[in-house]
Amino acid sequence: MFEAFNELVINHMMTSKEEWDFVNSLKFDEQLEYEEAYFIKMNYISMLKKYEHVIESQEARSELENKFRLSNNAGILLSHADELYTQCRFKECLEVTTKLLELDMYNQACLPIHIVCLHELREKNKLLLFAHEHFVEHPLTWFSVGCYNFLIDQNDEARRYFTKAFTMDSHCGPAWLGFGL
């Protein structure tokens, strides 16, 4: 069930309310011991959108980091980065995504947040270097090249690269957003 829920969340197929309603409808405590149920519920909550229920999301992440000692877990770092990104705390977010990418440089869920933080912080050299370090077969590489071109005011070039990214993967949401700029 986790894999299905993860796909729904990362592909933004549910609204924030639907995500919370779904997690709250699950009967973790009827199927697991208390500690296991609590752990799994905190994991699910840490994955949810951070626009609403900010306190609950922070508490879940804190429990996972402290009680369960998962502060260097990729999922927990991603949750923290997502929270910081949602709050427009791009510098702090970039620090977290950088740490996560040091652990797993191909973390697909982290890459768009990392790229956008580089763009928001106007880190054009780092953005260009990032684009050159990744596979040309991956749409997020082309998304990062598009962000670089957008940052240096080469808007036509940026759109070409955003188009290339969503042509490679029609579900590449960041590229669609970039193309709309």
Domain borders along the chain are 1-71, 122-181
CA angle 106, 171, 111 (to 5 degrees): 25
pTM of the model: 0.88
Distances (CA, A) of 153 to 19, 105, 156, 174, 181: 38, 28, 9, 18, 12
Q: What type of residue sits at position 40? A: I
- Residues 6 or more apart whose Cβ sits within 8 Å of residue 165: 139, 140, 141, 142, 143, 146, 172, 174, 175, 178
pLDDT tens, per residue, the chain with 181 residues = 788 988 888 878 899 999 999 999 999 999 999 999 999 999 999 999 888 888 999 999 999 999 999 999 999 999 999 999 999 999 999 999 999 999 998 888 899 999 999 999 999 999 999 888 877 788 999 999 999 999 999 999 999 999 999 889 887 888 878 766 5
Distance, in Å, from the CA atom of 109 to the CA atom of 74, rounded to the nearest integer, reads: 10
